Homo-oligomer: A and B are copies of this chain.
């Protein structure tokens, strides 16, 4: 045979900027990639479409899963709540309880079945909304737990962006040739990003600090 078998990875993809850069980074590292995209009843499908497009660009095996979190009162899900258009103190209303815990649990099951040794997640704690399931101590403890709970080979949870800021992530993405115009960050699903929600604000601030025009607006 001669050819070394490719390493296999699950990439948790949202369609946003961070996980898009992550996807291209993992691709560069020569993994065979399975992307996992969740529809947890967000108020729009724009990021899900973005995730599908990005997956197909890098030739990843793309899997889309619909989840049901009927109890959630997150403003990303509940029709009774509006996504805030300015910074709010404490844990924001966009928080979806245990979202990454659930995403990673599915990824572990998927990884064990397709024999992937790594799960990549774009979590980071600079320029972020303060979600507790994005923090290093959670991710490390979770990795430890799941490896006690599966029958197959060790699965590593990798979070290369954890200590990176949005600016660094964008710079890395520019080098990797990430088509930022195909990503979607806004929590709302309008024709154009609202530019006011947390997610828009973090993105536009980073692009403007870098003196780069966000390719999303060049279209």
Contact = CB atoms under 8 A, between A and B. Distances in A.
Interface of A: 63, 65-66, 68-73, 91, 95-102, 104-106, 108-110, 112-114, 131-133, 135, 137-138, 141-142, 144-146, 148-152
A101 B149 contact: yes
A138 B141 CA distance: 11
Contact of A102 (B71, B102, B114): B102
A131 B112 CA distance: 14
A109 B72 contact: yes
A25 to B, nearest CB: 24
Copies of this polypeptide in the complex: 2
Contacts of A63: 70-71
Main secondary structure of the interface of A (DSSP, over half): helix
Contact of A71 (B104, B113, B137, B152): B113
A109 B151 contact: no
A69 B106 CA distance: 8
Contacts of A152: 97
A151 B204 CA distance: 27
Contacts of A135: 148-149
A131 B72 CA distance: 30
B145 A138 contact: yes
Contact of A101 (B68, B70, B109, B131): B109
A36 to B, nearest CB: 10
18 contacts: A69-B106, A71-B110, A71-B114, A72-B109, A91-B151, A97-B151, A98-B105, A98-B109, A98-B112, A99-B109, A100-B149, A101-B109, A101-B146, A131-B151, A132-B148, A135-B148, A138-B145, A142-B148
Contacts of A73: 113
Q: Which 4 A-B pairs have CB atoms at the shortest separation, nearest pair first?
A: A98-B109, A141-B145, A133-B149, A138-B149
Given A144-B145, A145-B145, A106 B110 contact: no
Contacts of A113: 71-73, 97
A55 B124 CA distance: 41
A66 B67 CA distance: 8
